[in-house]
């Protein structure tokens, strides 16, 4: 079984854009977004993926994740089966030491939200935070993409 271990942070400014070595456009929808399990369809540039995630463990730090690339046409058709609320974002990849931070700049109803994630090999792995990293939001369900679909950032009282 594949286990995803990641930490999630708010981003302070857009300086990460000048440090990114890659960026891609992502649209994703959820066939199922029940608490404890999600089935997601993602279109990333010209490729499609189907992902199944299990419940969050250890305060949101880890969970089981299975992802497979699927034909783009299948992904586009599966998007029609998704629950309402499509996530639209640009993902920027920023190298920091041995780690790569995935910085998601959201669009549409989640515009204004920018979140960075770093995947780890084990839960107590040390890593250096880049200068653009702010408050940690690991385990805060509001920042899960499946939750942003149902309760977009534009509806939050800040």
Active-site positions read 30
With beta carbons less than 8 A apart as the criterion, state whether 33 and 146 touch: yes
Sequence-distant (6+) residues with CB within 8 A of 43 are 26, 27, 28, 72, 75, 76, 79
Choose among 134, 95, 141: nearest CA to 118. 95
H or E stretch covering 67: strand 62-70
Choose among 137, 147, 94: nearest CA to 6. 137
H or E stretch covering 24: strand 22-32
Q: What is d(CA 50, CA 77) in angstroms, rounded to the nearest whole number?
A: 12
């Amino acid at each position: 079984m594949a286990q995803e271990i990641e930490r999630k942070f708010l981003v302070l400014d857009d300086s990460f854009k000048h440090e990114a070595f890659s960026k891609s456009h992502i649209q994703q929808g959820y066939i199922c977004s029940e608490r404890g399990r999600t089935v997601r369809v993602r279109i990333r540039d010209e490729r499609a993926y189907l992902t199944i995630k299990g419940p969050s463990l250890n305060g949101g730090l880890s969970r089981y994740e299975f992802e497979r690339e699927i034909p783009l046409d299948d992904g586009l058709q599966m998007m029609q089966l998704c629950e309402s609320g499509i996530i639209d974002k640009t993902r920027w990849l920023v190298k920091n030491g041995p780690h790569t931070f995935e910085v998601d700049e959201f669009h549409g109803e989640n515009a204004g939200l920018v979140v960075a994630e770093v995947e780890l090999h084990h839960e107590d792995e040390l890593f250096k935070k880049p200068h653009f990293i702010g408050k940690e939001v690991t385990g805060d369900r509001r920042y899960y993409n499946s939750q942003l679909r149902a309760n977009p950032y534009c509806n939050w009282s800040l």
